[in-house]
Amino acid sequence: MPKRIEMPGFIKPQLATLKSKAPQGEQWLHEIKYDGYRVQVHLNRGRKKVFTRNGLDWTKRFSSIAGALDIPGQAILDGEVVVVHEGRTNFSELQAELAAGRQDRLIYYAFDILWRNGDLRRLPQIQRKQLLLDLIGENNIELPVLFSEHLVGDGQEMFEHAAKLNWEGIISKRADAPYRSERNENWLKIKAVHKGKFAVVGFVKDPTGVAALYLGKQEGNELVYMGKVGTGWSRTVSSQIRRQLDTVVSPKSKLTKAIRKPKATWVEQKFFADVEYRDITSEGLLRASSFKGLSRKDEL
């Protein structure tokens, strides 16, 4: 009898390198960048395990997804668990679903296959994706599992389309590349970034400057809290911001609805921060924000 190959345990995932522009050429596949949890599913003759990107066993949390993958033999799938909200994947909605212990809205976008009764990682990306598509089709796998479609060719066009639809961005993958458990340039991520100007309503001190800025936005007659930003400045810039904000300190918050921020030093609405951010959460706060500049109200 031929020796049965032992299926490996958790495989460290391949990660994408951040780039500002999408690659072009027929050697690249382009997929939507999903805003969710990277998840690896292990199927071993009826036994099922689900791992996070760091190798934590989340089989119970994602039991509905594992249950839908009724596949004989052995397989290891790589993909992303998401919740779709208002037409796109939304990380804060996913977190809320998991916090409540629910799984009704979870979807698993499978985008790679690493094992099928043997190791597939040396095969080219395009071949692995075809094997994954065949596996899903042959076994009549349906929601909550979906195959992650891709386009070939002009990545920049797809990226611009993704940005208009407020998607997180795209992932571009070399069609001929094997799967490697590392961050390399065979997988590239190009992120859509939003930009905005927000009123500085307060700050958190650090010894020489600011640790964070509290931000607000004028909506009609209301000054609404938008969260805070705490990255994007050097020590020198941080000190400059602090000197400017120290001139407009206020005894109380100018926000229409009071928020509890015990460390905050409140300020008059005299300065605006230019901020890049990924998204606005379901609570109305900026996500993954980064400071780009400060301007005075009377300079605008």
Model pLDDT for residues 33-69, shown as the tens digit of each residue: 998 999 999 999 999 999 999 999 999 999 999 999 9
Please check the confidence at residue 267 and state whether its pLDDT lies above 90: yes
Give the DSSP H or E segment for 229.
Answer: strand 222-229
Q: Which residue has the higher pLDDT, 294 or 282?
A: 294
State the pLDDT at residue 1: 45
Please check the confidence at residue 164 and state whether its pLDDT lies above 90: no
Q: Give the integer Cα–Cα distance in Å for 60 and 142.
A: 20
* Residue 195 φ then ψ, to 5°: -125, 145
Side-chain-facing half-sphere of 35: CA atoms under 13 Å: 25
Please check the confidence at residue 2 and state whether its pLDDT lies above 60: no
C-beta of residue 248 within 8 angstroms of C-beta of residue 217: no
Q: Which amino acid type is present at position 11?
A: I
Please check the confidence at residue 91 and state whether its pLDDT lies above 70: yes
| DSSP 8-state secondary structure symbol assigned to residue 249 | B
**Nearest to residue 92, comparing CAs of 277, 260, 241?**
277
- Lookup result for tokens 């999903």: 34
State the pLDDT at residue 260: 85
pLDDT per residue as tens digits for the range 182-236: 999 999 999 888 888 999 999 999 998 999 999 999 999 999 999 999 999 888 9
DSSP-based three-state secondary structure for 297 = helix
DSSP-H helix ranges across the chain = 63-68, 91-99, 125-138, 155-164, 235-245
- The proportion of the chain whose per-residue pLDDT surpasses 90, expressed as a percent, equals 74
**Nearest to residue 109, comparing CAs of 133, 140, 134?**
133
Residues contacting 3, CB < 8 A, separation 6+: none
State the pLDDT at residue 7: 95
Q: Give the integer Cα–Cα distance in Å for 29 and 38.
A: 19
C-beta of residue 266 within 8 angstroms of C-beta of residue 202: yes
Cis before 144 (ω within 30)? yes
Please check the confidence at residue 99 and state whether its pLDDT lies above 90: no
Domains with residue ranges and CATH for the chain: 15-191 (3.30.470.30), 194-299 (2.40.50.140)
Pairing of strands 106-116, 145-147: parallel
pLDDT, the chain, mean: 93
Annotate 80-95 with DSSP letters as a single string. Answer: EEEEEETTEE-HHHHH
Pairing of strands 194-205, 271-277: antiparallel
Least confident piece of the model among 89-93, 102-106, 141-145, 252-256? 89-93
pTM score of the predicted model:
0.74
Annotate 136-171 with DSSP letters as a single string. Answer: HHHTT--TTEEE---EES-HHHHHHHHHHTT--EEE
For residue 226, CA distances in Å to 97, 148, 185, 245, 283 come to 22, 33, 35, 18, 9
